[in-house]
């Protein structure tokens, strides 16, 4: 079936360095790719998303890039801070029986070392 693979499962970076999380998807019809952040004990929340007609989107220290040909997209966090520590999930849309849902990656635990 359709799936989304996310790597790495754990990422540890020094505070101030950049972090990159990568996802690949299998459904070529996917057209919406959100990233959610889940802090410890809290609910997942949308931090940035990108649509298939755009190659890159940036919001302050966070950016997402999309390569439709290769079917992969990445989250980039620059100048990492302690509050960036969380689990990050990528997702891609899947159209099923005229209703669309999200297929989720397994998550990346990002650890920011002081």
Partner 1 sequence: DVKVTQSSRYLVKRTGEKVFLECVQDMDHENMFWYRQDPGLGLRLIYFSYDVKMKEKGDIPEGYSVSREKKERFSLILESASTNQTSMYLCASRGRVDEQYFGPGTRLTVT
Q: Which residues bind partner 1 (CB under 8 A)?
A: 1, 6, 9, 32, 34, 42-46, 49, 89, 93, 96-97, 99, 101-102, 104-107
Tokens of 31: 């057209």
Residue number with CB closer to partner 1 (94 or 112): 94
In whole angstroms, what is the distance from residue 11 CA to residue 19 CA?
A: 8
Q: Answer for the pair 24, 5: CB distance below 8 angstroms, yes or no.
A: yes
Q: 18 vs 45, which CB is nearer to partner 1?
A: 45
Give the residue with the Cβ less far from partner 1, 27 or 49.
49
Instruction: State yes or no: cis peptide before 66, omega within 30 of 0.
Output: no
């Amino acid at each position: 079936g359709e799936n989304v693979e996310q790597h790495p499962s754990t990422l540890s970076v020094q505070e101030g360095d950049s972090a990159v999380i990568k996802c690949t998807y299998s459904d070529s019809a996917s057209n919406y790719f959100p990233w959610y952040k889940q802090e410890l004990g809290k609910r997942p929340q949308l931090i940035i998303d990108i649509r298939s007609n755009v190659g890159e989107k940036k919001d302050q220290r966070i950016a997402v890039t999309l390569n439709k040909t290769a079917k992969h997209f990445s989250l980039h966090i620059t100048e990492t801070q302690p509050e960036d520590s969380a689990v990050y999930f990528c997702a891609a849309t899947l159209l099923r029986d005229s209703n669309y849902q999200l297929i989720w990656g397994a998550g990346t635990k990002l650890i920011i070392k002081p």
